[in-house]
Amino acid sequence: MSSPSQVRVRGPLEAFAPGFADELRGLGYTPVSAVFQLQLMAHASRWLREAGLGPDALTGDVVERFVAERRAAGYTNYVTVRAMAPLLGYLRAIGVAPAPLRLQPATPAGRLLERFGEYLTIERGVADGTVVDYVHAVRPFVDAIGGGEERDLQSLTAADVTAFVVARCPCQSRGAAKMTVTALRSLLGFLHVEGLIARSLVGAVPSAASWRLSGLPRALEPEQVRRLLDSCDRSARTGRRDFAILTMLVRLGLRAGEVAGLTLEDVDWRAGELVVVGKGRRAERLPLPVDVGEAITSYLRDGRPASAQDRSLFVRVKAPHRGLTSAGVSQVVVSAGRRAGLGQIHAHRLRHSAATQMLRAGGSLEEIGQVLRHRAALTTAIYAKVDRDALRGLARPWPGARS
């Protein structure tokens, strides 16, 4: 069966099958994928009829029961709640199925962390991804002090805070330790503002040991960059999209999240510029190199689906064609690295590669910092280590060596 019109839906969901088929078509599902979705709808409709239920009974518990019985009946595909998302999304959008209930945290720790997350979002304007990271980082601390009970918070001391950091951070990587102390300071500030602790304990959080500029940026060599770009099959839609993403990362040194956040309006073709929203939600304009513009143009003409669901510049290849996430951009780089035989390559390594290439082409550290949008010049200074020609002039001869 290869045509959605051949799927027969009987039961409580029958009246909604034509609309669901149209929805799938609009979202960019292929006929075969749409058939699978409609077959799932047909099974769910039969199950509801046999249970004496209507579409208004499709709560979270009922959906769980359905997929469990579907698995028990021997089905191997579309047997999870996640697989029901397209159907449930459509039925909820037209007001037939009930909206999902927002689960309240069941423990004091969960409720405290939820309030902390809301504080970061609303009061501090922190990005969603950073909120998730902060909440995850302080969860062990909340558990360690008694799970967020108010009576335990009132007895919290500076010694408790310091002891936690001293015990936890040595077991973490340098980056994770820095995240722990940063998030913990935010949490303690929140507890003080909310009146849950009598005085601020932010000063009790020791700094995580960090040696700035101690490492070397791990850039790819030009030959490796070429292999990475050549791994994209530009005769296919996926290859054109991936090539445009990789070219942008390599030439402009964007972060994965910045690429994912680009919209069609962010490409100013007339001015030859790209509007990038970076850390702190700061919007800045970068020059659009010719090769980057050509790669984007090729993707927009022959790669970006007409059924794209939003104005994101880069969208998913598979339906529904929504904008790529930061993780999706990172996966593009990882997949290209494997195809090129370079092993595990992460998106941030291409940022180092872009900076290193600019330095080798004669760019100054100040110019590189402007392209990478570093707030402090010290952040860019690490690339001085890879400027071997400049370092050679500073190196002193080895004692006793021949000149």
Are the C-beta atoms of residues 314 and 262 closer than 8 Å to each other?
yes
Q: Is 383 a catalytic residue?
A: yes
The 3-class SS string of the chain reads CCCHHHCCCCCCCHHHHHHHHHHHHHHCCCHHHHHHHHHHHHHHHHHHHHHCCCHHHCCHHHHHHHHHHHHHCCCCCCCCCHHHHHHHHHHHHCCCCCCCCCCCCCCHHHHHHHHHHHHHHHCCCCCHHHHHHHHHHHHHHHHHCCCCCHHHHHCCCHHHHHHHHHHHHHHCCHHHHHHHHHHHHHHHHHHHHCCCCCCCCHHHCCCCCCCCCCCCCCCCCHHHHHHHHHCCCCCCHHHHHHHHHHHHHHHHCCCHHHHHCCEHHHEECCCCEEEEECHHHCEEEEECCHHHHHHHHHHHHHCCCCCCCCCECCECCCCCCCECCHHHHHHHHHHHHHHCCCCCCCHHHHHHHHHHHHHHCCCCHHHHHHHHCCCCHHHHHHHHHHCHHHHHHHCCCCCCCCC
Q: Of the residues 234, 251, 255, 349, which is catalytic?
A: 255
Active-site pick, 29, 134, 299, 383: 383
Distance CA 266, CA 284 (A): 10
Nearest to 206 by CA among 229, 233, 178: 178
Q: Are 38 and 20 in contact (CB under 8 A)?
A: yes
Catalytic residue (one of 348, 360, 373, 385):
348
Q: Which of 381, 346, 376, 373 is nearest to 254 (CA)?
A: 373
Cα atoms in the 13 Å half-sphere on the side-chain side of 244 = 25
Choose the catalytic residue: 65, 279, 281, 318: 279
- Residue closest to 324 by CA, chosen among 310, 339, 338, 307: 310
102 is catalytic: no
Active-site annotation holder among 168, 185, 351, 352: 351
Please give the positions annotated as active site. 255, 279, 348, 351, 374, 383
